[in-house]
Every structure is written in structure tokens, then in C-alpha cells.
Copies of this chain bind each other. A is one copy, B any other.
């Protein structure tokens, strides 16, 4: 053991283990209003419970985000009124009960999406120009932005404050989230939204899928220019919204492969579908009494989501007439004007504890519009569904459930008493619906970790490690040509062609030489 001199003691590196009880981080939550907030709030409360300090940034016009004792709320002024926002939202759902959707409705939907998001993007710009609030927020020293990238404000704030962003969403229109995260989506087996395709496609279906994929790219160009404008006005180095959100550290997706079609994924995508049906509360006494009293016939839960609580009178009548003819009791979230002769088996409510009701063993059918929150609650409680897709991703969600044999679909615009009765009859009498949804439910619920814990874990991971760079694919550094190796293929082709050309030239040269050698000989001859 000579020359110990040049080997001085290495100072003991103190290994501050990250795995002990989580240290509290400071999180800026930038939510999206409406139903999007409902599941994000569950995560926010869990993070508060785990000792994190949270400030939720809310526009003054918020429809469903209100104060809480669990977390702080910072309200910021915007350039539009609540009425204007509601009017824009109303436009989105306008007409769904009246006419069959046609091809032109797609463009109208895009137009309305743009109008609905535009005023909120403008509201965001006002926030960004609100110097005092921005200074205050910067001074808070947040570790992380938790946001829903359906609107751009959260991502912009994360980039402005140079802190990592965790995204919480189901998906963005035209799969912008997958494009931004560079997630491969082969059109040959990954069905495009609204294509009415499953993973297994015939040739015509694959043609349709590719066509819909082109249409999706075109839609993307129509849907996000105001997002891009806002981003490029604020950052010199980033010019599109897609580029901005590509910096997201972790994507918490309200996905579950009991519901979605299997597809390629990336290591920074985590699946928290069903997060909203984790916790159940006992029913209020009067409701408990009502549903218990339904006997063997059981009861039906009827809601059209948090944003649609009533129907046109004529449509509502069809339902009332149908419910009058069934032995089941019905709990209906309905804020419209009730008819004089509401059937005795129907209870109308302004709000109902949907998940707790569906968890009741006597729940027979769930009548729903097919929003993902409701669908997951239907799946996790194993209740067959009668579905009325209204707008957004709902028709695609409904298609998935119908294909899996756990739901029946009716079009909202031509619903009749007979159709409702027929569908309910099938759902209640044909045991296959219940059997299939029980199976789906078992698969969905059989998971190594609860979605809420998974979401909280990865949020905390990003706080502790200041990001999740080791999960980010290097594809982000490549342009389209490089990503598809077209430059490499081109280069190899040039080399190949050059080699072939040189070889040909050599052959030609040799042949000529031989011919020439032959020619004088002939001459001399």
C-alpha cells in the first residue's frame, strides 16, 4: 500500500435520498375551467394533502373554479365577461339536440372552438401583461406549473418563469399533444379521432384513417393560430404552441387501455384514466332511501355532464314518457322546467353524486353524454351506458364503449320515447352488456398503482428532480426530415448511385478499351 499520498480521502458525499417523506414544493396550478377542472382538482387536493403549497390561478370569469380552504386562489382580471364566455360555450353545444351533424358542422365546430378559446387566449394575454401580478407570481418561487394545455397560459407561465410543466389532460384537439411530445402514431393501426375506426381496420378503414389524419393536420392549422400568435409574441425562440408544449416534463393523461386502443407511447406519458372515480362517499339519506326503494328493478342515473343540465322541452318529453313506462327508478340531473306530470319513479335534481350513485349495486343503467369523466365512472362501477354524444370528444368516446359492447348509442337530435325504451330494454335485459362491462371494469381497476397516486408521484418527481429529462426522447431535437431519416436515406442513395455510376463508367471505359484494342487490330488486319 505505497504512495498513499496521491490518494487523499474522498470527502464523504452525503446522499440526500429523495425517497423519504416528500418535501413540500410550491406549485402554480393553471387550470382550464369547466369539466376539465373536476379531475384536476382531485390531484390538487391530493398534492395539498401531501404537503405542497399550491396557488391556483383563476380568471375572474370562472364558471366552476371557486375558492377552497385547501389551496390558495389567485384571481386575475380578464378582457371578457362571464356572459360572453358562456355565450361562446353555449354556441358549441347549440344545435346538438336539433339536427343531425353533417360534414359542415365539423368546420362550424372548429370555428366555435376558435371563438371559445380566442377570448380566453386574449384573457391570458391580459394576465401576461399584468406586470404587478406577474412580478408577484415570479416572486413566489414556484417549483412547478401544473396545467391543462387545452389553453396556453400555463405553458407560457412555466416557460416565462423557467420552471418545469406537468400537463394534465385527456388529449388535445387533432392530437396536438401527441405531435408535440413526438409520440409515434402509425395510421395503420392507431385510429384517428372521429374516424369510427378501432385498432383493427380493413383496407377502406385504413384509407379513411389516413384521410382523417390529413384532415386532422389541416384542422390543427385552423385551430391554433391564435395560440401560436400569443406564443410567438412572448418568446423569440419559440414560434408555435406545439413547440412550447413540447417542453412539458410529464404528461399525465386521463387514458386507460380498458377504454383507449393500445398504441405506442413514450416514457414521459403516464396514464391516470379513472382518477375521478377513486373515492366514494356514502349517499345522502334521502337518496339512499330512494335508490334502496327501487327493489330488484334497480335505478337509472341520468346526467349529461357538468356543462349541460337541461334539454329542449320536446326532447325532455321523450324521456319523461319513456321513464313513465319502466319499472326502474330514475335519478335525473335536470334544471329545465319540469312538466306537470313528472312520473313518480323519476326524481329530478340540480346536482347529483354521480359516482356514488353508480357505485350502488342497484344502479342498472347510466344515461350519459359520454364525457370521459362519466365514462370512467361508468366503467369503474361496471354500469352499462345509454349514451347521447353531444360535442367535443364525446362521439369518439361513445363509439369506443359501443364497440366494446357495454353501451348503446342514441343520437341526441332524433331521440324518441320508443328508441329510449328499446335501448334501455336491451341494456337491462341482455346480460352481455353487464357481463362485458364487469370484465372491462375488472381490467380497468386491476392496476399496480392508483391513478391519483401515480399522478401525485410524477408531479413530486418533477419537483424533486427539477424535471424528468431522462424520459424525454431526443426526437425533439430533430426536424421532420431528420426524424424520418430522409437526409440519411438521401445521402446513402447518393452514395449508392455514385458507386453504381462509377462502376458503370469503369465497365464502359474497359469495354471501350477492349473495343479500341480490337479496332486497330482489325484495321491492321
Q: Is the CB of A482 within 8 A of B188?
A: yes
Q: Is the CB of A188 within 8 A of B442?
A: no
Is residue A307 contacting chain B, with contact meaning CB distance below 8 A? no
In whole angstroms, how far apart are the Cα atoms of A471 and B265 in the complex?
Answer: 11
A1-41 interface bits toward B, Cβ cutoff 8 Å, 1 = contact, 0 = none? 11110111111110101110000000000000000000000
User: How many chain A residues touch B (Cβ–Cβ < 8 Å)?
Assistant: 92
Complex partner residue of A474 from B200, B325, B470, CB under 8 angstroms:
B200
Q: Is the CB of A438 within 8 A of B13?
A: yes
With A470-B262, A471-B257 known as contacts, the answer to whether A200 contacts B327 (CB < 8 A) is: no
Q: Is the CB of A263 within 8 A of B13?
A: no
Is residue A264 contacting chain B, with contact meaning CB distance below 8 A? yes
Nearest CB of B to A429, in Å: 7
In whole angstroms, how far apart are the Cα atoms of A160 and B360 in the complex?
Answer: 44
A170-186 interface bits toward B, Cβ cutoff 8 Å, 1 = contact, 0 = none? 00000000000001101
With A184-B184, A186-B485 known as contacts, the answer to whether A262 contacts B429 (CB < 8 A) is: no
Chain B residues near A11 (CB-CB < 8 A): 431
Of residues 363 through 390 on chain A, the ones whose CB sits less than 8 Å from some CB of chain B are 364, 382
A455-494 interface bits toward B, Cβ cutoff 8 Å, 1 = contact, 0 = none? 0011001001100001111110110001111011101100
Is residue A286 contacting chain B, with contact meaning CB distance below 8 A? no
Chain B residues near A345 (CB-CB < 8 A): 1
With A464-B446, A473-B263, A474-B199 known as contacts, the answer to whether A1 contacts B324 (CB < 8 A) is: yes
Chain B residues near A9 (CB-CB < 8 A): 296-297
Most chain B beta-carbon contacts within 10 A, residue among A3, A475, A489: A475
Nearest CB of B to A380, in Å: 11
Chain B residues near A327 (CB-CB < 8 A): 1, 4, 7
Is residue A158 contacting chain B, with contact meaning CB distance below 8 A? no
Q: Is the CB of B443 within 8 A of A453?
A: no
Main secondary structure of the interface of A (DSSP, over half): loop
Is residue A267 contacting chain B, with contact meaning CB distance below 8 A? yes
Q: Is the CB of A361 within 8 A of B263?
A: no
Q: Is the CB of B18 within 8 A of A485?
A: no
Q: Is the CB of B485 within 8 A of A206?
A: yes
Q: Is the CB of B12 within 8 A of A361?
A: yes
Chain B residues near A10 (CB-CB < 8 A): 296, 298, 364, 428-429, 431, 434
Is residue A65 contacting chain B, with contact meaning CB distance below 8 A? no
In whole angstroms, how far apart are the Cα atoms of A470 and B19 in the complex?
Answer: 33
Q: Is the CB of B6 within 8 A of A425?
A: yes
Is residue A266 contacting chain B, with contact meaning CB distance below 8 A? yes
Is residue A102 contacting chain B, with contact meaning CB distance below 8 A? no
Complex partner residue of A200 from B12, B184, B477, CB under 8 angstroms:
B477
In whole angstroms, how far apart are the Cα atoms of A477 and B199 in the complex?
Answer: 10
Is residue A127 contacting chain B, with contact meaning CB distance below 8 A? no
Chain B residues near A266 (CB-CB < 8 A): 262, 264-265
Is residue A435 contacting chain B, with contact meaning CB distance below 8 A? yes
Chain B residues near A364 (CB-CB < 8 A): 10
In whole angstroms, how far apart are the Cα atoms of A265 and B268 in the complex?
Answer: 10
Is residue A238 contacting chain B, with contact meaning CB distance below 8 A? no
Chain B residues near A49 (CB-CB < 8 A): none
Is residue A163 contacting chain B, with contact meaning CB distance below 8 A? no
Nearest CB of B to A525, in Å: 51
Across the two chains, which residue of chain B brings its CB closest to A256? B470
Which 9 A/B pairs are nearest by Cβ-Cβ distance? Answer: A199-B474, A9-B296, A4-B327, A189-B474, A448-B457, A184-B184, A262-B473, A18-B442, A189-B475
Task: Enumerate 13 A-B pairs (CB-CB under 8 Å) in ascending A order.
Answer: A1-B324, A1-B344, A3-B325, A7-B328, A7-B425, A13-B438, A210-B485, A257-B267, A261-B474, A262-B268, A264-B473, A443-B470, A448-B454
